Amino acid sequence: MNWATADHHWGHRNIIQYCNRPFDNEDHMDQEMRERWNSVVRPNDHVYHLGDFTLGIRAWWYAEQLNGIIHVIPGGHDKRWIRYNEYDPAKIIIEPPLLTVSLEGRRITMCHYPLRSWEQSHYGAHHFHGHCHGTIGVMDPSDDRQLPPGQKRGKRIDVGVDNWSFYPMRVSDLLGILEAPDA
């Protein structure tokens, strides 16, 4: 099974206040998010984490407690622990900052940051991102004014945990949301 998520900010006390997260402190936040992750992700599942995994250098410690193989598409807060190789390469795979994959028979461009246009967006390819913590809307049609009216456009979706009750989301469910007739 494939999952997508972003912006956990494991161990980041200030993110609770910045994003108005419903946790008493960073230990409470980390425990609750870990329980939610492990309640849905199985050990052999693949999780695409679209950045800001943790602010600190203990990524390996957090990853050891999580189910699945974690593909990290780095965000701004991931530079430090990646630079110092503070992770187990059997558990965390560091992907490029802009990754296009085929999952569930669909083309998906993944990046920590939201993009206005991405590879094959004008053919209906999708874009998963994080970074926004719910500030620009979970789902937003591409605003590509270069395409003629009625032309198929790709859509993007914010997979960050602040939008999804602090759970990772199944890629198939995210695609279903993007491809719903009223989307």
pLDDT digits (tens, 9 = 90+) for 18-30: 999 999 999 999 9
Mean pLDDT, all residues of the chain:
89
Distances (CA, A) of 149 to 139, 140, 180: 20, 17, 19
Contact 121, 153 (CB under 8 A): yes
pLDDT for residue 148: 47
User: What does the alpha-carbon distance between residue 46 and residue 51 come to, in Å, rounded to a whole number?
Assistant: 15
Pick from 105, 123, 182, 117: nearest CA to 156 = 117
Residue 139 has pLDDT above 80, yes or no: no
Give residue-wise pLDDT tens across range 71-116. Answer: 999 999 998 888 888 778 889 999 999 999 999 999 999 999 999 8
Rounded to two decimals, the pTM is: 0.92
Residue 142 has pLDDT above 60, yes or no: no
Chain centroid to CA 26: 20
pLDDT for residue 87: 79
Question: What one-character DSSP code corresponds to residue 148?
Answer: P
Residue 66, Cβ neighbours under 10 Å: how many? 22
Domains of the chain with CATH codes: 2-179 (3.60.21.10)
